[in-house]
């Protein structure tokens, strides 16, 4: 088992991706030059972000994880702050910032952001028995009664400290990048450096360029 101490923040991509990067950058204050700052009015939720020409959104049921993700409220300020309130050095990597807590400890990395999103969804839907994660040695971390917000907030930091990209790779089903769609078993894409959450996909007649 291992613990993690790197700082991360949530970042919502301009093409409907929520990408939680594990790239480490020096900390310093920097003014945001993000284009959303001049957008009038700025999008209130992820689903309000306009798609590029030729792209479409796929409809999902109201109780699905994908639908819940798209309804997450966005902050009106697109600046990314660290867990301790400092401004993140790189302000060019995000289009908008989700209005979801990152906690007050230096724990959350890319995988932890994805874990929080999934856990928050399950907690809101009262699917408590599904809130379970495993570490890289197959140790299990299960959310148990009493199912209170206080207990939930105390549960997640332990998961963040012991689980990560490598353990999620074992817990989830692998998907080819071009086949990723926003549903529970394919929400999280793993590679050796980071995890990302896919909120939208390109039309079938679009050939992505990497």
**Residue of 111, 7, 122 whose CA lies nearest to 69:** 122
Write out pLDDT tens, residues 77-119: 989 999 999 999 999 988 889 999 888 899 988 889 989 999 9
pLDDT at 110: 84
**pLDDT classification of 32: cutoffs 50, 70, 90:** very low
Cα gap 187→61, rounded to integer Å: 16
Cα gap 12→7, rounded to integer Å: 17
Q: Read off the pTM.
A: 0.74
* Cα dihedral 147, 111, 201, 35 sign: positive
If you average pLDDT over residues 154-168, what whole number do you get? 93
Write out pLDDT tens, residues 163-185: 998 888 888 876 655 555 544 43
């Amino acid at each position: 088992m291992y613990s993690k101490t790197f700082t991360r923040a949530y970042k919502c991509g301009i093409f409907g991706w929520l990408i939680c990067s594990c790239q480490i950058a020096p900390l310093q204050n920097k003014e945001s030059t993000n284009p959303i700052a001049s957008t009038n009015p700025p999008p209130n939720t992820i689903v309000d972000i306009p798609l590029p020409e030729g792209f479409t959104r796929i409809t999902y049921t109201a109780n699905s994880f994908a639908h819940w993700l798209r309804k997450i409220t966005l902050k009106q300020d697109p600046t990314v702050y660290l867990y301790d309130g400092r401004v993140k050095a790189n302000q060019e990597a995000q289009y908008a910032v989700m209005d979801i807590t990152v906690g007050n400890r230096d724990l959350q990395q890319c995988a932890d952001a994805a874990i929080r999103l999934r856990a928050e969804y399950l907690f809101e839907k009262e699917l408590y028995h599904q809130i379970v994660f495993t570490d890289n040695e197959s140790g299990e971390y299960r959310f148990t009664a009493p199912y209170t917000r206080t207990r939930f907030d105390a549960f997640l930091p332990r998961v963040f400290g012991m689980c990560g990209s490598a353990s999620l790779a074992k817990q989830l089903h692998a998907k080819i990048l071009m086949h990723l769609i926003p549903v529970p078993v394919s929400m999280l894409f793993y590679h050796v450096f980071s995890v990302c959450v896919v909120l939208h996909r390109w039309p079938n007649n679009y050939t992505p360029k990497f």
